[in-house]
Amino acid sequence: MRWIGTSFKMTKTIAESAAYAARLREAVGPEAPAGVRPFVIPPATAIDTVARTLGAGSPVLVGAQNAHWADGGPWTGEISMPQAADAGAALVELGHSERRTHFAETDATVRRKVRAALRHGLIPLVCVGEDAPTFAAGGSADHVVAQALAALGGSADTGTVLLAYEPVWAIGDAGRPATPAEIAAPVAALRDAVGDRVAGVLYGGSVAPENAADLLGVPGVDGLFVGRAAWRVEGFLRLLDIAAGR
Ligand code: 13P
């Protein structure tokens, strides 16, 4: 299975998210291309709208960009896994580097959130990735394996978890795309360490139509997790086509 997903991060109004979802529904139809599993992760304000616009039974999964480990209570500013699911999320992104860097997300909090997501039937999409100094020092594989092991813990029920390998130095406007050669070893290390315990290993960081096929060709890569290149729906549709071999 090739998972192709995008996070809108902190972009798009409800109306913009709805327009994106409507176009996606129209273009994808009732069945995704064979072997391709699309997902979209709008801002929390638009999860409900995107899920309703895509409609029940859509082949496009909807996700949340984050959710708390507690089921409810005095956690101002947070949403819980049950609330994310109630809004229409089937998947929850956890531990993105922007959350680790700016919002004090740690391996320990990611682990608690993975537990909570699984408890509520959400697919955890756990982001792992090394920073530039770790990459330069040759520590990428060890770093991401440690993050993945911490997120999964010793639990036996992690078979729905998706991992996204996102080198921090490859993400966003300040990043540069990783090459297939650069991601091969960290991806192989993740597969060796936890491949039989998760549903897939995705790559993310400056993915674009120009590099998508090559990145998908790296052994062990089960999909792509995309930011900017998929924020216009045409970009996302192009990536779905590439994943489908069209
Ligand atoms: P970009 O594709 O914009 O580099 O973002 C990747 C990412 O962080 C996906 O979560």
Mean pLDDT of 128-157: 98
Mean pLDDT of 140-165: 98
Q: Which residue puts its alpha carbon closest to atom 7 of ligand 1? A: 227
Question: Residue ranges of the alpha helices (H) in the chain?
Answer: 14-28, 47-54, 81-87, 97-102, 107-119, 132-136, 140-152, 180-194, 209-216, 233-243
Angle at 179 between CA 186 and CA 114, to 5 degrees: 40
59: containing domain? 2-243
| Rounded CA separation 124/66 (Å) | 10
Residue percentage of the chain with pLDDT more than 90: 100
Residue 105 catalytic?
Answer: no
pLDDT at 195: 97
Ligand 1 pocket at CB < 6 A:
7, 96, 166, 171-172, 175, 204-207, 225-229
2-35: b (≥16 Cβ within 10 Å) or e: bbbbbbbbeebeeeebbebbebbbeebeeebbee
Task: Please say whether the beta carbons of 218 and 183 come within 8 A.
Answer: yes
Give the atom of ligand 1 at the shortest distance from the alpha carbon of 97: 8
Residue of 98, 105, 130, 166 marked active site: 166
Looking at residue 141, its amino acid is A
Closest alpha carbon to 3 in 31, 44, 36: 36
Q: Which residue puts its alpha carbon closest to atom 1 of ligand 1? A: 227
Confidence band for 37, pLDDT divided at 50, 70 and 90: very high
pLDDT at 66: 98
Pocket residue to mutate for ligand 1, from 40, 171, 176, 232, most atoms within 8 A of Cβ: 171
Mean pLDDT of 182-200: 98
Mean pLDDT of 90-106: 98
DSSP 8-class letter at 68? B
pTM here? 0.98
Residue of 68, 96, 120, 143 marked active site: 96
pLDDT tens digits, 5-31: 999 999 999 999 999 999 999 999 999
Residue 98 catalytic?
Answer: no
Number of structural domains the chain divides into: 1
What's the CATH code of the domain at 116?
3.20.20.70
Confidence band for 86, pLDDT divided at 50, 70 and 90: very high
Confidence band for 201, pLDDT divided at 50, 70 and 90: very high
Mean pLDDT of 86-100: 98
Residues sharing a CB contact under 8 Å with residue 72, sequence separation 6 or more, in sequence order: 80, 82, 83
Confidence band for 135, pLDDT divided at 50, 70 and 90: very high
pLDDT at 177: 95
pLDDT at 6: 99
Mean pLDDT of 131-145: 98
Residue percentage of the chain with pLDDT more than 70: 100
pLDDT at 35: 95
User: How much distance in Å is there from the Cα of 161 to the middle of ligand 1?
Assistant: 19
Closest alpha carbon to 92 in 44, 55, 147: 44
